[in-house]
Structure formats: C-alpha cells, structure tokens
C-alpha cells in the first residue's frame, strides 16, 4: 500500500495587540525540504487573473497564514491515504489554531509595497487557499504531481480535452458518461478535436482506432457508466504511450480508494467530484490529477483560470469536508453493492446484474487486479419484461430515490435509457443503482417489493 507523509501546520500563539505571526512563522530552509518551501518574499512574480498557475503537489496548500514555523517539523511517521483524507492533509490554521480551514471569500488580495504578491494570491479566479488544500490532498491520494479542482465534473473533463494540441484525434469508449460523450460528438469537432468511439473493454478495438502521429489522447472510463465495463488501465497506457499519446482515466466511480490509475501508467485522472469525493449530493465539483508538471498541465491550468472554471470557496469547503469520510463511505458502499449484486444475480425477475465484483462478470479478472478493497458502489440490473417493467420497478420503490447522479450517502435508482435518449447504448430494461449508506437488507427488501408490485 502506498503511504504518504503529513506535515502539521501550527503557529506560535497570538500576542495581544499584534499580528499572530511574524518572521518566525515563515518557513526557513532548515524547516522544510526544497519542494515544500513557500515562495520568497521578494522578487516573486505576481500571479494575477491573466497569468494563473495551479497548485503543484508538494507545495503547502495555503498562503501566509499556513506557513510552517521554526518550531515545526515534518512528522516522521508515514501515513495511509485514509489518514491523509480524514485530516484533509493535516493543515492547521496558523492564525487561530483551527483544525478546520477557514473559507476565504475574498475575490482580490492586497499587493506588497514593492508591487509583489508574496503571500501567493492575487485574484480568486485562478486560485484560492482552500482550493490548494484540496489539490494537495488529491495529489497525495492519487500519487500525482499536480492537481486542479474545477466547478463541475464537465468543466474538468472538457478542460482535459481542450488542453490537447490541435488538431487532435481522441479515442474514447462508446459506453461512458453520456454528457461528456455528447460534448465530444457534437461540440468538440468545431474546436479541432475529433473522436473515434470504440468498445472500451477491448484493447484490440482501442489499438485499431489509434491514428499514428494524430491521436493525442486515449480516454477510458473504468468502471464505465452505466454498464460498468472494465478497461485494463496498464495495457491501455502502453497503447497510448507507444503511439505518442496520453492516457486519461475517468476514475469517478473507482475513486482513489479503489484504484490509483497513475500508478498503472495513466497520465491524467479525472473525477466528477460531485459524486464520491464529495459524497453528500450538495456540491458540483470536478478535478484533474496529472502525473507530471509539463506543458499539457500548464495549458489545463490556463484554461481553468481564463474560463473561470475554478470551484467557489463555499463549495470547496463542502468538498473538503466530504473527502474526509471518503474511505469509510466507499468501502461501505462497495460492500453493500456486492451484497445486493449477489442477491439479485439469480433472481427470477432479473434478466442480468451488471457488476464487476461478481465472478461471472466479463471484467471481473481485470477489475480484481487493478481495484483494491472493493468494486465500487455502482451496479445495474436488467429487469425482465423490458422497458415498461423497468420503469414500473423504479416507480414502485419507497426507500431508493428516483434521481440522477451517483456516489451520495442516499441510494438512487434511475432508468438510464430515458435520460440518455435516442442513440444511447444503454439497454431499455436497465436500472442504474447507486448504493448509499443505508443497510443493504433494507435496500434489498425495497427492490424486492418493487419487483413484486410489477407482477
């Protein structure tokens, strides 16, 4: 298991009538490794809305108020990912000692007398102190070199494509998040991005779709919404790199709890943080985690800053709160989903259960290799009797909520073909299930009564 270090950020106590921190609260060369030192006070290039740069993993997640003091020292003990998530990276507000970081609502920040921005902030469109802290945690959980948090999953995903050099050819799965697929098919071509859609579970199909010298990216989603097909990330990375392309993985459903695509060779990891990372159905957010700090990363950061796609400070606070319980939630949801899948696998009113945790699932062997600790909280059932029976089943549930989205604490059911409309690869008899934190016995009983009510 990969482990990481936490650095605790604390300050000297405030003195009456004075600012709580002085020169003694700034990091010195003896305090932190080079990668973690904040920018020097003089000669710092001003960051502004026209020249943003994102958080780089290894930098402290906040500004002046969170800098280390001479009395601080890095914790020597390595910590597991769930520890990092639970403590949101371990930062303590230096000004107050608060263990929950403050919400910085300011849109603009004061310059120094010498016209610099030594505290690291100029304007909130390209950057925010709380956003940086989230990015640090994401980098630690995913093993990335750089991260960017966005105002939605679509903002993050489209930025990943917009950062490609043009003209760009992309290979993407035919079964994937429907909203992004529509954007690739209908909007991206006018922006110089052409996409070939293939069976994402077939490495041969991906390889045949690659156009040497033209293909810039292979995009995979695993498990793939809403049929939960599995792509071999390591093998897909080899295909991409041999063609001079990058591999991007939508890991929204797997989360960093179950899969770390960068460790398997991926270059870009995308999360719709609205889903599991936040986990409470009350925040729109997205994230990119990148394996390297390079020109592609710089372009993605510039797109976020120039288009104003950053997450707001209030939403960032809620997202960071949700991430503290990520590991507990995902493990519970994955265990419950497996229990539900096994219960309905041979049910007389169910045509099929789609879930990579079942040994009979076509993607089970690959999923077992690249997912650790579970197979996610998402599954789908195909109801005997076709579309009408599936819609009636959803109408008859009492505990499950008929709603879109996924990954929240409440369990959701959705007739996905109705949402995706004409051209969807989703079968008409399919119901997508997002398993929440309720007792699986109650969720099973509610589905049972809903199926019986169809008879």
Active site residues: 125, 177, 250, 275
CA atoms of 415 and 394, how far apart (whole Å): 7
Q: CA nearest 330: which of 260, 231, 411, 435?
A: 435
Q: CA nearest 108: which of 94, 93, 127?
A: 127
Distances (CA, A) of 370 to 175, 247, 256: 20, 16, 11
Q: CA nearest 407: which of 211, 258, 248?
A: 258
CA atoms of 142 and 164, how far apart (whole Å): 22
CA 143 to the chain's CA centroid: 13
Those residues whose C-beta lies under 8 Å from the C-beta of residue 355, and which sit 6 or more positions away, are 228, 337, 338, 341, 361, 375, 378, 379, 380
* CA Rg value for the chain: 23
Those residues whose C-beta lies under 8 Å from the C-beta of residue 31, and which sit 6 or more positions away, are 37, 68, 69, 70, 72, 73
CA atoms of 261 and 277, how far apart (whole Å): 16
Distances (CA, A) of 240 to 40, 49, 207: 40, 34, 9
CB atoms under 10 Å from CB of 49, counted, come to: 16
**What are the two backbone dihedrals, phi and then psi, of residue 352, each rounded to the nearest 5 degrees?**
-165, 150
Alpha carbons within 13 angstroms on the beta-carbon side of residue 24 total 11
Inter-residue contact 26 to 38 (CB < 8 Å) = yes
CA 19 to the chain's CA centroid: 38
């Amino acid at each position: 298991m990969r482990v990481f270090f936490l650095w605790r950020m604390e300050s000297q106590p405030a003195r009456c009538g004075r600012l709580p921190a002085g020169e003694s609260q700034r990091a010195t060369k003896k305090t932190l490794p080079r990668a973690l030192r904040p920018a020097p006070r003089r000669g710092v290039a001003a960051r502004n809305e026209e020249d943003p740069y994102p958080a780089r993993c290894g930098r402290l997640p906040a500004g002046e108020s969170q800098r280390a003091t001479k009395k601080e020292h890095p914790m020597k003990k390595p910590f597991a990912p769930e520890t990092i998530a639970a403590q949101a990276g371990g930062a303590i507000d230096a000004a107050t000692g608060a263990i929950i970081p403050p919400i910085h609502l300011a849109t603009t920040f004061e310059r120094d007398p010498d016209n610099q921005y030594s505290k690291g902030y100029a304007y909130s469109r390209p950057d925010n102190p709380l956003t940086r802290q989230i990015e640090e945690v994401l980098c630690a959980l995913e093993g990335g070199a750089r991260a960017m948090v966005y105002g939605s999953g679509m903002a993050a995903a489209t930025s990943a494509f917009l950062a490609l050099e043009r003209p760009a050819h992309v290979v993407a799965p035919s079964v994937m998040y429907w909203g992004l697929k529509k954007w690739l098919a209908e909007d991206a071509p006018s922006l110089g991005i052409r996409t070939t859609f293939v069976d994402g579970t077939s490495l041969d199909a991906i390889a045949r779709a690659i156009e040497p010298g033209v293909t810039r990216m292979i995009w995979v989603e695993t498990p793939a919404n809403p049929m939960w097909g599995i792509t071999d990330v390591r093998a897909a990375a080899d295909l991409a790199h041999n063609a001079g392309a990058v591999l991007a993985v939508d890991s929204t459903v797997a989360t960093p709890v179950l899969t770390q695509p960068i460790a398997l060779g991926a270059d870009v990891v995308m999360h719709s943080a609205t889903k599991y990372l936040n986990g409470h159905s009350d925040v729109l957010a997205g994230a990119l985690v990148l394996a390297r700090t390079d020109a592609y990363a710089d372009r993605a950061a510039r797109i976020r800053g120039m288009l104003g796609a950053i997450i707001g400070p209030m939403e960032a606070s809620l997202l960071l709160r949700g991430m503290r319980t990520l590991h507990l939630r995902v493990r519970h949801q994955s265990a419950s989903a497996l229990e539900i899948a096994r219960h309905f696998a041979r049910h007389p009113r169910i045509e099929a259960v789609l879930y990579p945790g079942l040994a009979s699932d076509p993607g089970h062997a690959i999923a077992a290799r690249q997912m650790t600790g579970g197979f996610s909280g998402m599954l789908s059932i195909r109801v005997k009797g076709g579309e009408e029976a599936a819609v009636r089943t959803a109408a008859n549930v009492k505990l499950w909520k008929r709603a879109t989205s996924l990954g929240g604490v409440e369990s959701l059911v959705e007739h996905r073909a109705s949402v995706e409309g004409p051209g969807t690869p989703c079968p008409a008899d399919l119901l997508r299930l997002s398993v929440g934190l309720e007792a699986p016995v109650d969720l099973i009983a509610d589905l049972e009564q809903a199926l019986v009510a169809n008879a």
